[in-house]
Structure 1
Amino acid sequence: MTWALGLDFNSAYTDAETIVSTRSGHFNFNYNATPFVNYIIEYHTGTLQGGDSLTTASGRQFNNNFAAVMFRAQLQMGEIIDYSQSKMANAFKNLYVSSGVGFVVNHMTDINRASIKTPGFYTDGENNSNQIVIPVRIGYEIKFFNKYNQPGFKIDAGYQYNFIMGDGLDGFTAGTGKDSFSQFSIGIKFAIGGVATYRKQISFD
């Protein structure tokens, strides 16, 4: 088992025309069924922003202080490839894909609904909402081994795209498309628990 914390760099794709980069943090707990198959419960909190009230025709601009809880299953390539005979395969064993389900709580702390450039144009919506999210992630773990030749801690870098099952991430109800946001993240994972056995040697020079 491992626990982890990390930093995310976010971009929200919503009904606001301008994309703004923001940051958030995450904490997760990993149950390692094997060294390469992981089940993850994760909590995110931070800010999502978008739009520009001064320069866009709609005038839409928002600041969302969000929180999200996600459950993901994660498969690393080391589970399905033989990495003992090839340096290239050994390097790729820590590449992973992951997906799952969760929910996101949206809270608009600042929002502009009326357009300055288009008089009378107004976008309705809700300042607070809860929505289902489907995370899809690809990433890579760098494992650092302890004296038992097992991973003591790991550096995790990845890209995650979060599909929102609704239109409330930005506080605007507009258009026919659903909202989403992406995250580039980096984190550190710490192993907890005792020594475990595995059918394959984890570390190769």
Structure 2
Amino acid sequence: MDSTLIAGILSAIATILAVIIGYYLQRPKIQSELLKKDLADNQQLIEPNEALDDYDQRYLDYPSHYRFVKGLPQLYLAVCKNAQEGWDTGITGDMRQANYDVIDFLEYVWLRLAKFYPENHWDGKTAQAYIQNYLQERFIFHRSKYEPNGPGTGGTIVYILIGSDVIRDLEELINDTVDSLFMYNDDFDLEAWRKEWRKTITNIQQEN
């Protein structure tokens, strides 16, 4: 194949990927801003993000509805490579923001996976309400864990550690949800997906 044509194809792929990543990372970060502002005060940690569109349930009978799941490991790796610039600065504020960007992305992914379930499936709550409560509890737990002597005693590094642990929580939540959804789907190679998801997480952790 002509080298010019190959270069053009690669350039087009890179452009598309950049647009996708930019879309996820430029979504409103209402939750992240509230977390940064209120976490230290033990106030309400999370307020609802902008409401999703009218409920549009996805179905496992339609491969087009879950095609995005197959690409999640590669997309997540690209998102974290983008966040790596913030993590590498060593500046607390930049590192925290990088964590929040990744948390926002993972929350968005889980909400899309939750579309395979009925609207008020989660203990009678919408997926949006459920994930907000879940994140609030995880932030509180990790902060309490790192500050046994009371709020504010762990220093600013605590906020970076908290964000990293919440990222791990969401990675597992997504893994468990995909497992449950596709364990009996012969058209989805769940074992291959698991390996790729784990490999992606390992690569990200090694970078940090």
TM-score, with structure 2 as normaliser: 0.25
* Structure with higher helix content: 2
